[in-house]
Amino acid sequence: MTRTTELVPLADYLYGVMARLRPLPPLEVDLTQAYGNVLAEEVTAPGPLPAFDHAAIDGYAVRAEDLLGATATRPVRLNVVGDLSASSWRPVRLTAHACFSVAAGAPLPAAADAVVPLDWTDQGMAVVEVYDAAKRGHGLRRAGEEISAGSVIARAGTQITPPLVALLAACGIGHVVVRPCPRVVVLATGDELVEAGRSSQAGQIVDANSHALTSAAAEAGAHAYRVGICDDDPEALRALVDDQTLRADLIITTGGTGTGPGDMVRRILGRDGVEFTDLSVYPAGSLGFGTIGPEEVPIVCLPGDPGTALMSFEMLARPVIRLLAGAEPVFRPSIKAHLLETVASPVGVREFRPAHVAERRGGGYTVQPLAGGPYTLSGLAEANGVLVLGERVTTAAAGSTVDVLLVDRRR
């Protein structure tokens, strides 16, 4: 059998798609809304962290020289001249052979250079006996010891995590400039589709795709919205897509990418500038990409088979979402792994197959292809990796080294 069209290598196709896209414009947001976004600008510390010298533990602020020789049998006695809490603000100074009772977070008195833990003392209130000598710096934090004023806290391209939010807040930063998470809408097409919550029967197929792809888009870092099912009606499809361009940064469709009589998406959107490309990839075959409407909103058109749609999402839609978000890396991390069983692969295409990856004792990885290949949803549900076999590979023998994409379901 001879092919009537030349198949395009996936790498060439992705290069062309990515070259047409740019990250979303930067946006200043409140820190409470920053989680999950990517920093668009470098963030520097407006002041030192900690902002002032303070006690790191509950205890007594002392001068270390006053405790020389302190032991359990010969404790040093100090006068407790005051109490300081985390909310204390009046400056105070420590004199010889005196101390302040301090709570963790309390500003350190001038001349104090150590904080003695409570369990090193008899916890006296007016006079305290100290049973161990504290070295200078014990139990306290100095201003700027973690971050100095003007130093870089996080660079552009950093994804904002809860610990980073805490760090930014602690440094006195209330707003940051980010690349916003893309707004992605997902719609499934096909007269045969019915809503989830019922079983498939002849002439009816439950719409698994739009639910799965909405979840996959959210996992990739998008604000994802499921539009639902669109019948194979040209006017309804065009109206629905046009409507979504008003609120989306990316539109994902599933179904109708082939050349059969019922493949409405390819026929209708192809007239609107969406290009459908036949790829040397298994599974997938044909993917669509273009821009829609005056706003030139990117649109990705994936096949209708659920397993193929999810694999195609990994190939095309996920990198597009990551690029729009300004996130790095755009693609899944790749490793080399030892194959546990021999597998055959179609000639002339790059195959993506669900697999289970495990670390080996002593280092390295093994990979086990999952039964059923990409068309088996149960295999995809178990997969933590994707086995990649190149165009020239027809058989990969057990024990050989293969490429595997690591699938982190937390992104």
Pick the CATH number of 54-141 from 3.40.50.1970, 2.170.190.11, 3.90.1150.10, 2.160.20.60: 2.170.190.11
Place of tokens 């539109």: 251
Q: How many CB atoms lie within 10 A of CB 164?
A: 19
Nearest to 246 by CA among 157, 185, 159, 178: 185
- The mean pLDDT value for 392-411 works out to 88
Residue-wise pLDDT tens digits, 195-221? 888 877 877 889 999 999 999 999 999
Residue-wise pLDDT tens digits, 135-194? 999 999 999 999 999 999 999 999 999 999 999 999 999 999 999 999 999 999 998 888
Place of tokens 């021999």: 342
Residue-wise pLDDT tens digits, 356-376? 999 998 899 999 999 876 667
Q: With 70 as the cut, is the pLDDT of residue 2 above it?
A: no
Task: Determine the pLDDT at residue 209.
Answer: 94
Q: In whole angstroms, how far apart are CA 318 and each of 27, 96, 178, 313?
A: 22, 65, 19, 6
- The pTM for the full model equals 0.85
Q: Within 13 Å of residue 348, how many CA atoms lie on the same side as its CB? A: 8
> What CATH number was assigned to the domain covering residues 334-406?
2.40.340.10
Pick the CATH number of 10-24+181-324 from 3.40.980.10, 1.10.287.3240, 3.40.50.2300, 3.30.750.24: 3.40.980.10
Q: Quick one: how far is CA 325 from the chain centroid? A: 11
Residues 6+ apart with CB under 8 A from 321: 182, 184, 217, 220, 221, 222, 250
DSSP symbols for 313-365? IIIIIHHHHHHHTT-S-SSPPEEEEEESS-EE--TTSEEEEEEEEEEPTTS-E
Residue-wise pLDDT tens digits, 251-286? 999 998 887 777 789 999 988 889 999 999 998 889
Q: With 60 as the cut, is the pLDDT of residue 382 above it?
A: yes
Percent above pLDDT 90 for the chain: 82
**How far apart are the C-alpha atoms of 140 and 142, rounded to whole Å?**
7
- Output the 3-class SS for 45-56: CCCCECCCCEEC
Residue-wise pLDDT tens digits, 34-86? 999 999 999 999 999 999 999 999 999 999 999 999 999 999 999 999 999 99
The dihedral formed by the CA atoms of 377, 187, 275 and 320, expressed in degrees to the nearest 10? -70
Task: Determine the pLDDT at residue 211.
Answer: 96
The mean of the pLDDT values for the chain is 93
Residue 356: what residue type?
A: H
Task: Determine the pLDDT at residue 259.
Answer: 77
Strands 223-230 and 281-282: unpaired
CB 200 within 8 A of CB 377: no
**How far apart are the C-alpha atoms of 225 and 79, rounded to whole Å?**
66
DSSP-based three-state secondary structure for 222: coil
**How far apart are the C-alpha atoms of 107 and 94, rounded to whole Å?**
12
Residue-wise pLDDT tens digits, 109-134? 999 999 999 999 999 999 999 999 99
Q: Which of 225-236 are b and which e, b meaning 16 or more Cβ less than 10 Å from the residue's Cβ?
A: bbbebbebeeee
Residue-wise pLDDT tens digits, 80-93? 999 999 999 999 99
**How far apart are the C-alpha atoms of 395 and 190, rounded to whole Å?**
36
Strands 250-254 and 401-406: unpaired
- The confidence band for 5, taking pLDDT boundaries of 50, 70 and 90, is low
Rg (CA), the chain: 31
Pick the CATH number of 31-49+146-179 from 3.40.1390.10, 3.10.450.50, 3.90.105.10, 1.10.3720.10: 3.90.105.10
Residue-wise pLDDT tens digits, 334-361? 999 999 999 999 989 999 999 999 999 8
Task: Determine the pLDDT at residue 1.
Answer: 38
**Domain limits of the chain?**
10-24+181-324, 31-49+146-179, 54-141, 334-406
| 10-24+181-324 and 31-49+146-179, same CATH topology | no
Task: Determine the pLDDT at residue 409.
Answer: 62
DSSP classification of residue 249: S
